[in-house]
């Protein structure tokens, strides 16, 4: 597997459409926002095919990791963990970014805790799915 920064926003959106809109039932209006143009995008490849992506937004001293998705056929391979680690590596390389933050679907909180994130705040609804914010120092 390989993960790289990309300008191919269409490929990232196609993956997000499959996972969030088609599989999880998120509305297109909730998924396709106007932040892609200012974000850093990562694409993950397996056997030459794009199978996962993540989006990074820089907000003051915080790098927000979002829109993390892995296609069903690539799940269970460690790719999600690799995407989060690659995201943190990119954020570490940005001047002034000291923390990584994300909104975790509540069923995935344990996954992110194993990567050093700590939950904060209350559970909230995002596109009909319960989430909780999580943060960690870089």
pLDDT value at position 114? 96
Could you report the per-residue pLDDT of 34-92, keeping only the tens digit for each?
A: 999 999 999 999 999 999 999 999 999 999 999 999 999 999 999 999 999 999 999 99
pLDDT value at position 48? 92
pLDDT value at position 117? 98
Helices marked H in 1-138 — which ranges?
9-16, 28-31, 79-92, 109-113
pLDDT value at position 45? 96
pLDDT value at position 82? 97
Q: Domain containing 72 — which CATH number?
A: 3.40.630.30
Q: What is the pTM of this model?
A: 0.94
Structure-block tokens of residue 84? 């989060």
Q: Which 3 state secondary structure label does DSSP give 112?
A: helix
Mean pLDDT score, 27-38: 92
Calculate the alpha carbon distances from 83 to 9, 24, 60 in Å: 16, 20, 22
Phi-psi domain of 121 (left: phi exceeds 0; alpha: psi -120 through 50; beta: other) = left
Could you report the per-residue pLDDT of 117-134, keeping only the tens digit for each?
A: 999 999 999 988 999 999
- Residue 119: which domain range? 2-137
pLDDT value at position 76? 93
Number of domains in the chain: 1
Mean pLDDT score, 83-108: 97
């Amino acid at each position: 597997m390989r993960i790289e920064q990309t300008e191919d926003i269409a490929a990232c959106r196609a993956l997000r459409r499959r996972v969030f809109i088609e599989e999880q039932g998120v509305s297109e209006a909730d998924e396709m926002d106007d932040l892609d143009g200012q974000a850093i995008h990562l694409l993950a490849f397996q056997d030459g095919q794009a199978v996962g992506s993540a989006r990074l937004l820089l907000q003051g001293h915080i790098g927000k990791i979002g829109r993390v998705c892995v296609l069903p056929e690539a799940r269970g391979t460690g790719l999600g963990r690799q995407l989060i680690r690659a995201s943190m590596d990119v954020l570490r390389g940005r001047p002034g970014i000291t923390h990584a933050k994300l909104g975790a679907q509540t069923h995935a909180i344990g996954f992110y805790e194993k990567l050093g994130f700590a939950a904060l705040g209350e559970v909230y609804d995002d596109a009909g799915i319960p989430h909780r914010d999580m943060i960690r120092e870089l």
